[in-house]
Amino acid sequence: MKEFMSGNEAIARGVWEAGVHFAAGYPGTPSTEILENLARYKDIDAQWSANEKVAFDQGMGAALGGMRVLVTMKHVGLNVASDAFMVFPYAGTNGGFVMISADDPGMHSSQNEQDNRYMTRMAKVPVLEPSDPQECHDFILKAYSLSERFKTPVVIRTTTRSAHTKGVVEFGERQEVAVQEYKRDAFQYSVPIYRHQRRPEL
């Protein structure tokens, strides 16, 4: 099937197709429409959070519990969520965890134009950058595959242009993904000895 969609609409469709169970975020241009569109899919528990750190923490808990999760925020929101963002890769995830960082080059609706690719590099988190609505859709599916293969959060970095540009998107149907069984893992505790052991794998 094909439809004329914005990048944010295509992301929401890709998230639904990926079998995501839970999505949380904090509104802010250029990311707001992702969660608004996700709320239309009855298979996903999509909710606004009190702030970006709360959204990240909610997503982290759901992912450790085995669900596929999406967390959304604009670029400055990652500053608020940075404490959790910097330690989560060292814990590793159980279900697929994807975060959208919607950056705003040119400050069209923001107080700065920080480039969160530097944040992902510092946190040792892989980042994918779609350039059009079709890639916004397709990269979501790739991101969950990467997240679950390497037990790591994955960031998709969009920009104001890629989030709001419209184009024809070819899409499919939802794949049902089982919630992964939770297994207690010492690496998921914030104890330095376990972090040292996890670092080479990360």
Q: What is the CATH number of domain 2-201?
A: 3.40.50.970
pLDDT tens string for the chain (202 positions)?
999 999 999 999 999 999 999 999 999 999 999 999 999 999 999 999 999 999 999 999 999 999 999 999 999 999 999 999 999 998 889 999 999 999 998 888 888 889 999 999 999 999 999 999 999 999 999 999 999 999 999 999 999 999 999 999 999 999 999 999 987 776 666 667 677 777 788 8
pTM summary value: 0.93
DSSP secondary structure, 58-76, as one string: HHHHHHHTT--EEEEEETT
| Dihedral sign from CA coordinates of 186, 191, 197, 202 | positive
For the chain, domain boundaries: 2-201
